[in-house]
């Protein structure tokens, strides 16, 4: 245990001193001082909600290692994966919905550290996604309490998030933190005089598909507080949110950016609780992408000063394009990364797309050594 801790501490301190972490420069990413394009996929889970904590990592580690190896062999450099989801097995809640521990058996942080060490051994950067709002399986109202009750959210930040960030601070394989996957799935769609919280314009957009549960004010506070807590502990950490469609995250095309620095601060009043880059998801409907989708625009069309990653897409809803064409489009149209969905169920096709662009260099290098 002492040897493992010493090795991990040396890795962490080395990363902090040398600056060998993913960072943002303008509207693109840097790694070890060079512009990089994040190419990879989603490995959202092996066992939905049961991959980390409670000694569960030991049962899925070999499968994750195999996915990391195949991703590296295909030429990928990054991986998006899901952590708590909706609180199925972590963190540990009491009967009133307050967080009282990382997990019941106390292995969660060690599992997370080991996952990052494993990813580093394969030269893969990791983007952990903490929560998910694309479905409503929250039968015990655990995630619900964190979103609507500031005291419960504070308990999570104090007991789990801050200690976790402290434990992995500076790890070279930790690319960024994603607070939530698709918050729009559980949005209430209603008029609010404040444009930051007004969801009326999204009524016919598809938002709220999993249930009309939360105001944008509650959802943005949830994001703002966690982003702030991460940056309080690790000022160089990158933070994002995975939005279901650019419609909620841009001021272009007569849309409104609800995740702007201004809106996040207005909701939560915590100054560091801002996003460093955007993660747009892009799926077609009946063979066609909508007019705001990433696959019908250049990155510059969104008018953002931050990097944009296309964080979910696949051939099944890919506007009648192949996976190779989708990866190439993202690379050649100025975006900063592409993570296809998903490596477990669509692995060969996804890896073919990743391999298709592995030697591209015009929009940032893809091969990295961590």
Catalytic residue of the set 178, 188, 233, 312 = 312
Cα–Cα distance, 268 to 41 (Å, whole number): 31
Q: How far apart are CA 326 and CA 284, in angstroms?
A: 12
Instruction: Give me the helices (H) in the chain, please.
Output: 2-18, 57-74, 108-121, 142-148, 150-156, 162-168, 216-233, 261-268, 323-332, 347-356
CA angle 324, 329, 334 (to 5 degrees): 140
Of the candidates 178, 182, 188, 233, the residue annotated as catalytic is: 182
Say how far apart CA 310 and CA 334 lie, in whole Å: 11
**What is the Cα–Cα distance from 11 to 176, expressed in whole angstroms?**
17
Query: Is 312 considered catalytic here?
Result: yes
Does residue 350 contact residue 323 with C-beta atoms inside 8 Å? yes
Query: For residue 147, what are the contacts with CB-CB under 8 A and spacing of at least 6?
Result: 153, 214, 218, 219, 222
Residue 98 phi/psi, 5-degree rounding, is -90, 145
Residue 74 contacts residue 65 (beta carbons within 8 Å): no
What's the CA gap between 143 and 27, in Å, rounded? 32
Cβ atoms of 207 and 268 within 8 Å: the answer is no
C-alpha 151 chain-centroid distance: 24
Separation CA 22–CA 336 (nearest Å): 12
Contact 197, 237 (CB under 8 A): no
List active site positions: 182, 312
């Amino acid at each position: 245990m002492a040897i493992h801790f010493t090795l991990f501490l040396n890795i962490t301190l080395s990363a902090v001193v040398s600056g060998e972490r993913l960072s943002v420069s303008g509207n693109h990413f840097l790694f070890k001082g060079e512009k990089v394009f994040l190419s990879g996929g989603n490995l959202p889970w092996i066992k939905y909600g049961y991959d980390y904590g409670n000694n569960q990592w030991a049962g899925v580690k070999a499968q994750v290692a195999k996915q990391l190896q195949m991703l590296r062999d295909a030429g990928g450099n990054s991986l998006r994966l899901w952590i708590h989801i909706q609180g199925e097995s972590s963190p540990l809640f009491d009967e009133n919905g307050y967080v009282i521990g990382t997990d019941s058996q106390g292995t969660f942080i060690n599992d997370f550290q080991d996952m990052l060490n494993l990813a580093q051994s394969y030269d893969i950067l990791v983007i952990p996604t903490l929560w998910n709002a694309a479905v409503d399986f929250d039968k015990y109202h655990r995630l619900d309490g964190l979103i609507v009750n500031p005291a419960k959210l504070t308990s999570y930040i104090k007991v789990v998030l801050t200690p976790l960030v402290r434990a992995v601070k500076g790890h070279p394989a930790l690319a960024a933190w994603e607070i939530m996957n698709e918050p729009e799935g559980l949005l209430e769609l209603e008029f609010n005089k404040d444009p930051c919280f007004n969801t009326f314009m999204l009524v016919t957009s598809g938002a709220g598909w999993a249930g009309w549960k939360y105001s944008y004010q509650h959802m943005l506070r949830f994001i703002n507080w966690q982003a702030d807590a991460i940056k309080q502990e690790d000022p160089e950490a990158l933070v994002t949110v995975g939005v279901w469609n650019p419609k909620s995250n841009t001021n272009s095309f007569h849309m409104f950016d609800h995740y702007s620095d201004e809106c996040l601060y207005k909701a939560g009043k915590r100054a560091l609780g801002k996003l460093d880059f955007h993660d747009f998801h892009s799926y077609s409907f009946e063979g066609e992408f909508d007019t705001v989708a990433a696959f019908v625009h250049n990155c510059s069309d969104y008018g953002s000063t931050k990097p944009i990653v296309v964080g979910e897409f696949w051939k099944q809803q890919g506007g009648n394009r192949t996976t190779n064409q989708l990866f190439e489009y993202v690379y050649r149209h100025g975006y900063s990364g592409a993570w296809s969905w998903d490596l477990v169920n669509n692995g060969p096709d996804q890896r073919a797309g990743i391999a298709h662009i592995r030697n591209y260099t015009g929009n940032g290098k893809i091969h990295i050594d961590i």
